[in-house]
Amino acid sequence: MSEGASGAGLWKDKAPPERAWKGRKGRSREMAAAEQDRAAGGRQHRTVDLGDGRYACASIYLKLLPKTRRIRAYLRWSDRGRSPAQYVGEVDHETREENLAQAWRMAMERGFLVQGVASEEPARKPASWASNSAVRAVMRGNKSRDTRPELALRSALHALGLRYRVGVRPLPAVRRTADLVFPRDKVAVFLDGCYWHGCDDHYRPARQNSEFWLAKITANQSRDRETDCLLQEAGWISIRVWEHEPPGIAAFQIAEVLKRKRAGT
């Protein structure tokens, strides 16, 4: 362990007290979120990178292993209806507050968290960290799924008789999620937002915190190129559609790619 005494020695003859790991009964979601904020040193230190330019606000979950008398810490977050978890390590203090703080420090040390970006917290709305109203408007429009352009493209593809999967990883072992996937044809479609992916026609640099936002968008573009290369190496075709493109035209172009792929040309 990186901090504190060894849990195995501290609780050698008896189980850890409930105050070391168990949350208080009857607490509200707001109280639970505030507890996590305090332990992490602020909401801004609870962010995990989901990939594809998306982020989430995580929490630490403490679990007691009765047989070994050890307390394990896990990082949990919400992602499109799922609740993934990342094992952080063992904690060994006598209070839950101390163990949460220790777990957050370990999560940061091990690179599970990112700093300087916004995260999504469905439990309650935190005070906005955006520097101005324009940035807040961009963030509010940055839905992770089921955006208006996505729904329009799906509808256009469906009208052409095409069926697909939504929001899945083309390559399960690679943490990259495509908006639409045609598994049998090995075709993945990414609907890229003009701002977040740096569209030549519509992207306008931010006036405040410009260096941060430019670095963020440049990183997204680099990730996009890497994703395309990984898919190509695995025998997939990657199609990128800008959100400003007419959905009917984009759907037709996707259908043409599928037609050629199925014909073996």
250-261 pLDDT tens trace: 999 999 999 999
In a domain, 57, yes or no: yes
Same domain, 235 and 142: yes
What does the pLDDT read at residue 117? 57
119-143 mean pLDDT: 44
159-164 mean pLDDT: 94
C-alpha–C-alpha distance, residues 154 and 157, integer Å: 5
Flag the least confident range among 35-44, 142-151, 189-198, 244-253: 142-151
Residue keyed to tokens 């979950």: 61
Same domain, 144 and 83: no
Reduce the DSSP state of residue 170 to 3 states and report it. Answer: coil
Same domain, 154 and 52: no
* pLDDT, tens digit, 9 for 90 and up, residues 195-236: 888 888 877 777 777 788 888 889 989 999 999 999 999 999
* Domain range for 48: 7-109
Number of structural domains (the chain) is 2
In a domain, 126, yes or no: no
Nearest Cα neighbor of 36 from 15, 63, 61 is 61
Same domain, 34 and 143: no
**Interacting residues of 238 by C-beta distance below 8 A, sequence separation 6+:** 188, 190, 227, 228, 231, 232
In a domain, 128, yes or no: no
85-103 mean pLDDT: 91
116 touches 131 (CB < 8 A): no
Q: Is the pLDDT of residue 171 over 90?
A: yes
What does the pLDDT read at residue 129? 37
166-193 mean pLDDT: 93
What does the pLDDT read at residue 72? 92
What does the pLDDT read at residue 26? 77
Please tell me the total number of residues recorded for the chain in this structure. 265
In a domain, 116, yes or no: no
What does the pLDDT read at residue 115? 67
In a domain, 163, yes or no: yes
Q: Is the pLDDT of residue 40 over 70?
A: yes
Nearest Cα neighbor of 113 from 56, 197, 165 is 56
130-143 mean pLDDT: 47
Q: Is the pLDDT of residue 193 over 70?
A: yes
What does the pLDDT read at residue 21? 84
Flag the least confident range among 52-61, 110-119, 138-147: 138-147
Same domain, 91 and 162: no
In a domain, 199, yes or no: yes
Q: Is the pLDDT of residue 125 over 70?
A: no
Q: Is the pLDDT of residue 132 over 60?
A: no
Which element (helix H / strand E) includes 152? helix 148-159
What does the pLDDT read at residue 145? 59
In a domain, 125, yes or no: no
User: Domain holding 209: CATH number?
Assistant: 3.40.960.10
Percent of the chain whose predicted confidence (pLDDT) is above 70:
83
